[in-house]
Every structure is written in structure tokens, then in C-alpha cells.
Amino acid sequence: MRQMSKSVCTKETAEHIVFNFVCEGCGAEGELQLDKSDGMKSFGCPEGCGATYVPWKYEGQWRLECVVCPIFEDKEESA
């Protein structure tokens, strides 16, 4: 069974939290900025692969946790 990923915030301002995001589902990478006003509202991978993340604050540090991670079948392996 896959372990859930937890990413730690790289930058925090009064309005935003920023992560160096790497999607557990599709591998998409990039800087991800979230509005603090959204609180701990879940969101999907920006690439639309189906992975779902929840931002949360633990011991004063914002983190991202992957709570739904799609598993893709390699077409070569299934043939």
C-alpha cells in the first residue's frame, strides 16, 4: 500500500501559503500557491489527474496531504 505524501510549506504570507508541489498521482511539478482564506478546503491536482489534497496546519507549519491518489495502469504491462 502506498504511503500518503505530506509536503511542507516553503513560503507563507499574510494571505497565501506556497508549496513546491509534486503530484503523487501524475508527477506534475511546480510552485503551488493557496489562499489562506480557503482554510483546509480540499482541492484536486491542477493537471486534473484525480489526486486530491488537503492543506492543514500542524505545530505551526502548513502541510499538504494527498488523501486520494489515482493509480494508473501501464498499458504495456497489461497487454
* 34-77: pLDDT as tens digits: 999 998 999 999 999 999 999 998 888 999 999 999 887 776 65
In a domain, residue 41? The reply is: yes
How would DSSP label each residue in 6-19?
Answer: EEE-SEE-SSEEEE
In a domain, residue 1? The reply is: no
In a domain, residue 13? The reply is: yes
Task: Give the C-alpha separation, 43 to 53, whole Å.
Answer: 5
In a domain, residue 56? The reply is: yes
The pTM assigned to this predicted structure is 0.79
Assigned C-alpha cell, 39 = 482554510
**Could you tell me the residue range of the domain that residue 41 belongs to?**
6-78
| Count of domains forming the chain | 1
In a domain, residue 27? The reply is: yes
In a domain, residue 62? The reply is: yes
Question: H helices of 1-79, where?
Answer: 75-78
In a domain, residue 69? The reply is: yes
